[in-house]
Amino acid sequence: MKKQDIYIDNMVCDRCILAVRQVATNLGWRIDQLELGRLSGWPPEGHGEAVVILGQQLHTLGFRLREGQGGVISRIKGLIVDHVYNDQVNRSQPLSDLISADIGQSYSHLSRVFSQEEGRTIVEFYRLHRMERAKQLLVQTDEPVSSIADRLNYGTAGRFAAVFKQETGMSPTAFRARGEYIPRLLDEL
């Protein structure tokens, strides 16, 4: 069998990667690379329905396989989630450049495809995840607001505070003081 790239929706964290790895390995897949939104590897020999079976198994865990342009959407979502939630990621490269380089297509094309498939823009998806991460950091850490602004690429604490207030109706400091934060499932953003 030849190597296949399988695109998977709703992968949002390292535990998702572990879950997908376990399911695929148990089904006999040889994994070359596994990252948020994509599995690259060889299906088990003699299983013409290997992708279908993998999809069924992953569906029971809340994942969904995507084909064609949808696979690109899964990869874009995975890159954004990793960019926002992975503290080890290098954020010096603009997100648009990161997405284009990883997928090998122009950002304007990818942006159009994403908008057509999702009914929202890449920027909107990114904004939702940055705001969710900001809320999490404000309530669950003592990290200064300026540090959170820098970590999430808002440029300045003032810019972050303005965007945060526009989104939530309160300043980051007031949100932190209130201490009420109910995390949203990342695959529902």
Same domain assignment for residues 145 and 97: no
Last residue of a domain, one of 80, 97, 119: 119
Last residue of a domain, one of 83, 99, 119: 119
**CA pair distance 163, 151, nearest whole angstrom:** 15
Same domain assignment for residues 71 and 143: no
Q: What is the pLDDT of residue 45?
A: 85
Give the chain's domain count.
2
Q: What is the pLDDT of residue 112?
A: 95
Residues of the chain scoring pLDDT < 70: 47, 67-70
Same domain assignment for residues 131 and 114: no
| Domain at 158, CATH number | 1.10.10.60
Structural domain that includes position 174: 123-189
Same domain assignment for residues 102 and 17: yes
DSSP characters over 50-81: HHHHHHHHHHTTT-EEE-THHHHHHHHHHHHH
Same domain assignment for residues 18 and 49: yes
Q: What is the pLDDT of residue 37?
A: 85
What tens digit of pLDDT does each residue of 108-143 get?
A: 999 999 999 899 999 999 999 999 999 999 999 999
Q: What is the pLDDT of residue 9?
A: 84
Q: What is the pLDDT of residue 136?
A: 94
DSSP characters over 142-162: ---HHHHHHHTT-SSHHHHHH
Same domain assignment for residues 133 and 97: no
Q: What is the pLDDT of residue 10?
A: 83
Same domain assignment for residues 159 and 188: yes
The model's pTM: 0.76
- Is the Cβ–Cβ distance between 38 and 75 less than 8 Å? yes
Same domain assignment for residues 115 and 165: no
Last residue of a domain, one of 96, 119, 142: 119
Q: What is the pLDDT of residue 47?
A: 67
- Is the Cβ–Cβ distance between 41 and 31 less than 8 Å? yes
